[in-house]
Structure 1
Amino acid sequence: MADTPIFPVTRAAALERLAQFVPHAGVDYARRRNFDQGPGHHDAVSRLSAALRRRVLSEADVVDAVAAAHGPDAAASFISEVFWRTYWKGWLEQRPAIWTRYLAGRDAARQMLRRDPDLAERHGDAVAGHTGIDAFDHWMGELAQTGYLHNWARMQVASIWIFTLGLPWELGAAHFLDQLRDGDPASNTLSWRWVAGLHTAGKAYLADADRITAMTGGRFAPKGLAGATTIPADAPPPAAAPWRTPQTLDIGAPALVWITPEDAGLEQDPALSRLPVRGVVACRSHAGCAADATALDDALERAAAQWQAPAQWIESPADLADAARAAGTSQIVTGFVPVGPLADALPAIRALVESEGLALAEHLRAWDNTVWPHCRRGFFALKQEIPALLPLLLKEPA
């Protein structure tokens, strides 16, 4: 999927889209944000999620621009949505077992598909958008064609998938993560759990036909939706525990910067401005979709310009040690790798790098370090803290 200004993943295109959106990020956003007007008409929302997911734009970039234009109070609705993204990240970092549990459930559900032809047929119809539920089928087609769904539509799809179609939530979450241009392990997994009634105990989200008709401007009139929820069986989530402590970087030591889709904007972080960078790399094996490839290619170019260092693609993390030695460094620096597929692979990558006598350091952004301690309970506990957190996170007025 090529990069376009509709759902940008390069920094220049994302900044252009941010400038277009900022005038509408106050009361207009609060009034219109939940209406899904269909493909090509998602102009009531920022459409910056793909850039934020890769930190091509940072949360601070976006919130700072919106707060400066409208003030934190008038822009509270949009700012709250940005904090939801941070909340999901911080909550999962403090409960990584939930990700492991999701993977086990996904794999078990895939085994069930092989044993149960009826389940396999219903799953195939859902993925193909052949259920006969007009809104659901349209949204599955839009997802396949564009890699995007309006956030409110995602909730409806997940609810219909789980409660009307009776499909395992893990299979829906896996399909979304594969298809979404902005697919994020934390936001995706925990949002599906929230709809299923597993995040906030006993509180599931039930899609309503009349509500869907109203919120889509009468485009759909779905029939046969479930009238009640049956919450999937699941063990209670573990208590919050401190997130893992990454190896800290040596800000004075020459470094090879390793850019991943988890943070493709490291050159913008002031905390790294003094880092003596000798080279920049990204792995082709991490360009799993066109959006990732475009974002990483753009990030390599920006990082090379910022640090005046050579930038290149390497095939995989197995080539990191050779790239570091070629750059004359013994320190590899990357952005903090949050819970998800890359974090699952990180222990083996670290062991390989360290076996070559190199250090692999991760940079945890100040935004995360400041907000994640407030992500231990429900979102609204964090929401109450947003006014006090904003002065710590935003730029000083000029």
Structure 2
Amino acid sequence: MSSQHDQPPPTDAVTGGKPGTATDAGVPAGVRTAGMWCLWTLAIGAVVYLAVQLAVVLGTVVLTFLGGLLLTALLRPVASWLDRTGVPRLAATWLVMLLFLVLLGGVVYFLQQRVTREWTSLRPTLVSGLDRVRTSLVETLGLPRERVNSIIDGLIGQLTGGFGGGAAGPGMVVTGATTAVTVAAALVLALFTAFWLIYDGARIWRLCLRIVPADRRAAADDAGNGAWRTLGGYLRGTTAVALIDALGIGLALLLIGVPLAFALAVLTFLGAYIPVVGAFVAGLAAVVVAFAAGGLTDALLVLGAVVVVQQIEGNLLQPLIMRRTVFLHPLGIVYALTVGGLLWGIGGAVIAVPLTAVVYAIAVALADRKGGEEAEPRPRGLRLRTGGASRADVPSNDGRPAGAGGGPSRRDQAAEASEGS
């Protein structure tokens, strides 16, 4: 006979769990489910935390690759068009990259020449304008003089020391040189990435798909294609909106007579790639320059022009151009900009919205759902009338319209009779 110690411990009759374990009958089912959810949440949170920390450490590499990806989405359609017209793929890639570099270098050189030349005459006017603002804030609005003087004096110090106006110490020279080298290296790596993605992107994508299990390869391919279409559509739509904004703001500045109109138009164009924040910064810069050059009247005119252009953009251009491209709620855009800015600064704010749109497109494709705003399901058989819905329009439990007394309708009875005959 076996002893009492040889017998197995009692188990739960329902779950089969041993006493003292998570499946013990003494542990409620809700507590067991909550515990499992907590464990999975902690595991997922740890993975996300490690991924974010790795992205912060490798911030320059991540931003460089994403910048090359954005540049590829912007330039690849041009290279593909040249390829279709008979230009060899390698020659088309080189031509597109060289045209982009010439355009970028020309804009930077022209801005540097114009800003440097006009800033010398504009700086004294801006300093006197800030002195007028100081007087108005203290004497008219009654703000504390010490606080106002601290802010205004700091701004004047930045203005008088910027654009070659002050001597730079050795530390500033070293910092500037290091920043320039870092930016140049990142730009070269981004251009290198964009070149190979434009020239050989299809083969690179096929190589990436080879590491995906065979039964999931089609889903991954669909998700990647959907994400790529979303990214390309976002960049093309944003570029179109940015061009229209820059033309509108630049024309208004020329008509009002504000200096640095071309530079401010370029700033408006670049600011369009940072939703919400970019438009505010570009408009604020235009108002400040107008105030420095022409006083309060010109500043108010520029402010009105900026508000009109931004209203046209938000209520007309964005719905028409971007509606079928990116499906993100403004709340999601704001939080994406916040997270991107906290992680990687201005570069993170630039890539935050397109990256979020791409992630959403991938999630939608993997979930086998159509992108975009889905129409709300309409209740079957329920029609609103002036006198209310009749009983024949309300579906019964089996899905068929309920007639008088809840039985089948006359049409159903006639169909059953014809089938029986």
Task: State whether TM-score is above 0.5.
Answer: no
TM class by smaller structure: under 0.3
User: Which structure dedicates a bigger proportion of its chain to strand?
Assistant: 1
Asked which structure has the greater CA Rg, the reply is 2
Greater RCO structure (CA 8 Å; 6+ sep): 1
TM-score (norm 2): 0.20
User: Which structure dedicates a bigger proportion of its chain to helix?
Assistant: 2
